[in-house]
Chain A
């Protein structure tokens, strides 16, 4: 089935540790995005990539890093520099001037 997959669904991290969230799509979309949602807030853009081997910072990139080595994959690393990492993380992919398709999200909790 075509779609976009995020894993894991739930993730726990100790303070000071880096953690990587996975996002894979088989829709042949060029663009991929990472958003963060906090309780009662909208979707804030962390990073986005319009093509392989290229990506741009979004509105809240500090404390995060990404890579886009393959068209299908856009992993997000939450580093220890991110002050408030506990949130719901959403990955999306998009074709040119079409709607974006979202994964089911990863709930990250710092313990």
Chain B
């Protein structure tokens, strides 16, 4: 039972443009949402998070949007840079516990 889906396995964007990565979930018990970035052969690194009581959180070039009614999470990167090329995972924490569930990942490629 796949509770978290990132329907786009890959995304290609030109440098300077906006990258939009999407994530859909089915479990309404999730109450904390995160985005991670991963380079090959390395551990993921934390990017940005949002709690269920908010609908937007911004940190520099990164903005996370949460639409609870649609059970949809998105990450906007603007402007996109070549160093942003990596795999991006959305992740969720269930309320009352610490179980961390990841999406399947989206490979972002930022082209010059």
Q: Is B98 touching A35 in the complex (CB atoms < 8 A)? A: no
Q: A63 interface residue, CB < 8 Å from B?
A: no
Other-chain contact of B42, A48, A92, A99, A105 (Cβ < 8 Å): A105
Main SS class of interface, A: strand
Q: Is A90 touching B43 in the complex (CB atoms < 8 A)? A: yes
Please give the number of chain A residues whose Cβ is less than 8 angstroms from any Cβ of chain B in the complex: 27
Knowing A30-B98, A33-B100, A94-B100 touch, does A99 contact B43 (C-beta < 8 A)?
no
Tally of contacts, chain A with chain B, CB under 8 A: 61
Please give the number of chain B residues whose Cβ is less than 8 angstroms from any Cβ of chain A in the complex: 25
Residue of chain A at shortest CB distance from B107: A40
Residue numbers of B with Cβ under 8 A of A are 6, 9, 32, 34, 36, 41-46, 49, 51, 89, 91, 93, 97-105
Q: A42 interface residue, CB < 8 Å from B?
A: yes
Q: Is A102 touching B104 in the complex (CB atoms < 8 A)? A: no
Q: For the complex, give the distance between the alpha carbons of A98 and B40 in Å.
A: 24
Other-chain contact of A102, B43, B49, B101, B103 (Cβ < 8 Å): B43
Q: A41 interface residue, CB < 8 Å from B?
A: yes
Residues of B within 8 A of A33 (CB): 100
**B-contact 0/1 string along A44-58, CB 8 Å cutoff:** 010010100000100
Residue numbers of A with Cβ under 8 A of B are 6, 30-31, 33, 35, 40-43, 45, 48, 50, 56, 88, 90, 92, 94, 96-97, 99-105, 107
Q: Is A103 touching B43 in the complex (CB atoms < 8 A)? A: yes
Residues of A within 8 A of B46 (CB): 99-101
Residue of chain A at shortest CB distance from B106: A42
